[in-house]
């Protein structure tokens, strides 16, 4: 097919997907993931001159858990449109623009890898039509910014090899450093690049890339070191100390390490079906899709060992060695890289085989686009892209409006989605617990033991923070919440004089409890 015709095909793809992205961009709620709320709170702190901290907590903390690039980008928008939630669509546009840059970087990298136009179209079409890409492009999370920087860095490094350009190596190293300053797992990108350059015996390039990346990365390590780490259980969750707590290398027994790595590898192996919009699907289909993809990855990596397999291996090792690293969203930023490697290889010459593969790819893309629009409807209604079994958006809005109207200013609130309640009500809010990911994610049935602590832990947190209002919601998509709700009920039974229900939603499970913390 002529280049002009391929340009028309890509334009058609954009026109097909654009309405879904536009609809999802008008997501009416923020903070429903918890992480996105933290990013928005730190962005507000930067924009309002309060430094780089989590100002939603009763005692504001210096931010050391999440690096600053993405919150800083959000803060630029917040400075221009400071009224929340009226500025929410503008804030979410940061992720969408980053997603566009990501797809352009994927195109450039695929060209550098020598893919045909049809293969490039397949990679971009399947990546852009994934409900995970849609969800991450229309929420205040850093994945799309991280993915754009990672992929851009790799594309520049491949171009630098072709053109033998030192400046391209410098820019590649700069983007890899910025990727780390967006998500901490981004350390795998400069690490993989240096391994590849050492493999290619490019000593000068190794030195140049390493120095530039180190200059960009080092200030964040210095920042975290200077501001220390809290020792409290709940406070540690909000800080860089959580990385050490959840690191397989630094924590856990040998048996626990094996359980975490094995479980993470299994989830990583099964993730392609979800990323291709095939989940939920029969187990045989999930296993078949995963087996085909990983077979293609293994075959092509062995035949053409190059930069991308090193990146994928390095990233997978970092992900599987993290307690809590089993979410599909963590695999999404490198999924296009996996597709690029998977579709590499000799062109199909048999006409029948080529026709069958083309038809299968077309059917897969049509199904993916259909699921994309279903997800867009869910997001526009206030749900998450991959589930509608989260909190009811109308009840959540009613709850925040009631708190804003009826709770006196200066009073402390406790809620699972603490940044959300700060953003929408202005009240300082604390979570009241820190999830123990090993207990909640890697144990089953009766083996689970106190994944959110004890009732005494909760009582202590409520007293320490002088909490006067306790928000209770279903929060069905948080695995630790059923355990936390048991602690709340136990504490209310043990200290009935300290609690009094003052709000009950139309649907069951939405309540506000007045707390007399002095009686706890």
Angle at 466 between CA 44 and CA 418, to 5 degrees: 35
What is the DSSP-derived secondary structure letter of residue 142?
A: S
Strand (E) positions, 318-415? 412-414
Q: Which two tokens stand for residue 427?
A: 């009240």
pLDDT exceeds 80 at position 306:
yes
135: which 2 tokens? Answer: 């969800």
DSSP-assigned states of every residue in 8-32: HHHHHHHHHHHHHHHHHHT-S---T
User: What is the rounded CA–CA span in Å between residue 369 and residue 382?
Assistant: 20
State phi, psi for 481 to the nearest 5 degrees: -65, -40
Give 230's pLDDT tier (boundaries 50, 70, 90): confident
The predicted-structure confidence for 239-296, as pLDDT tens digits, reads as follows 888 888 889 998 899 999 999 999 999 999 999 999 999 988 888 888 999 999 999 8
What are 56-112's pLDDT values in tens digits? 999 999 999 999 999 999 999 999 999 999 999 999 999 999 999 999 999 999 999
60: buried, middle or exposed (CB in 10 Å: 19+, 13-18, 0-12)?
Answer: middle
Confidence of residue 123 (pLDDT cuts 50, 70, 90): very high
Which residues make Cβ contacts (< 8 Å) with residue 148, sequence separation at least 6? 98, 99, 101, 102, 105
**To the nearest whole percent, how much of the chain has pLDDT over 70?**
98
Residue 1 in tokens? 């097919």
Q: What is the DSSP letter of 516?
A: -
Query: Whose CA is closest to 55, among 88, 78, 77, 28?
Result: 78
Convert the pLDDT of each residue in 451-495 to its tens digit: 888 888 899 999 999 999 999 999 888 888 888 888 889 999 999
Q: Which of 400, 423, 414, 395 lies closest to 509, judged by CA?
A: 395
| Length of the chain counted residue by residue | 520
Cross-strand partners of 61:
54
How far is residue 141's CA from residue 37's CA, in Å, rounded to a whole number?
9
């Amino acid at each position: 097919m002529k280049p002009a015709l391929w340009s028309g095909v890509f334009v058609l793809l954009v026109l097909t997907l654009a309405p879904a992205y536009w609809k999802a961009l008008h997501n009416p709620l923020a903070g429903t993931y918890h992480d996105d709320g933290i990013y928005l709170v730190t962005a507000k702190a930067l924009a309002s001159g309060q430094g780089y901290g989590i100002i939603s907590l009763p005692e504001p903390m210096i931010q050391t858990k999440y690096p600053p690039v993405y919150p800083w980008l959000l803060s630029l928008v917040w400075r221009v449109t400071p009224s929340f939630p009226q500025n929410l669509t503008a804030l979410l546009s940061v992720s969408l623009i980053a997603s566009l840059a990501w797809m352009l970087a994927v195109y450039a990298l695929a060209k550098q890898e020598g893919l045909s136009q049809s293969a490039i179209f397949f990679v971009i079409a399947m990546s852009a039509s994934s409900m995970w890409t849609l969800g991450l492009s229309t929420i205040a999370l850093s994945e799309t910014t991280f993915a754009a920087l990672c992929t851009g860095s790799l594309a520049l490094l491949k171009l630098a090899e072709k053109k033998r350009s030192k400046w391209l190596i410098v820019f590649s190293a700069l983007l890899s450093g910025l990727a780390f300053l967006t998500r901490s797992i981004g350390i795998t990108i400069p690490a993989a690049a240096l391994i590849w350059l050492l493999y290619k015996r490019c000593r000068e390039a190794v030195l140049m890339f390493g120095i530039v990346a180190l200059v960009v990365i080092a200030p964040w390590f210095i920042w975290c070191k200077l501001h220390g780490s809290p020792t409290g259980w709940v406070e540690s969750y909000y800080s860089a100390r959580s990385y050490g707590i959840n690191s397989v290398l630094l924590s856990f027994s040998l048996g626990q390490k094996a359980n975490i790595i094995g479980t993470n590898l299994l989830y990583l192996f099964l993730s392609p079906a979800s990323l291709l919009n095939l989940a939920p699907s029969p187990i045989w289909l999930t296993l078949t899709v995963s087996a085909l993809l990983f077979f293609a990855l293994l075959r092509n990596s062995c035949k053409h060992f190059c930069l991308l397999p090193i990146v994928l291996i390095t990233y997978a090792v970092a992900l599987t060695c993290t307690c809590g690293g089993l979410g599909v969203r963590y695999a999404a930023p490198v999924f296009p890289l996996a597709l690029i490697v998977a579709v590499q290889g000799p062109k199909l010459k048999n006409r029948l085989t080529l026709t069958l593969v083309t038809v299968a790819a077309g059917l897969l893309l049509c199904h993916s686009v259909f699921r994309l629009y279903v997800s867009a409807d869910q997001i526009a209604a206030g749900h998450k892209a991959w589930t509608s079994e989260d909190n009811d958006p109308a009840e959540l809005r009613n709850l925040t409006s009631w708190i804003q109207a009826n709770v006196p200013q200066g009073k402390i609130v406790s809620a699972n989605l603490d940044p959300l309640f700060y953003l929408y009500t202005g009240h300082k809010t604390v979570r009241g617990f820190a999830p123990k990911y090993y207990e909640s994610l890697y144990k089953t049935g009766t083996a689970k033991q106190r994944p959110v602590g004890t009732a005494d832990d909760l009582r202590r947190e409520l007293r320490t923070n002088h909490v006067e209002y306790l928000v209770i919601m279903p929060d069905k998509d948080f695995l630790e919440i059923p355990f936390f709700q048991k602690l709340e009920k136990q504490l209310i039974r043990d200290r009935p004089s300290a609690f009094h229900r003052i709000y009950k939603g139309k649907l069951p499970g939405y309540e506000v409890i007045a707390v007399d913390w002095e009686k706890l």
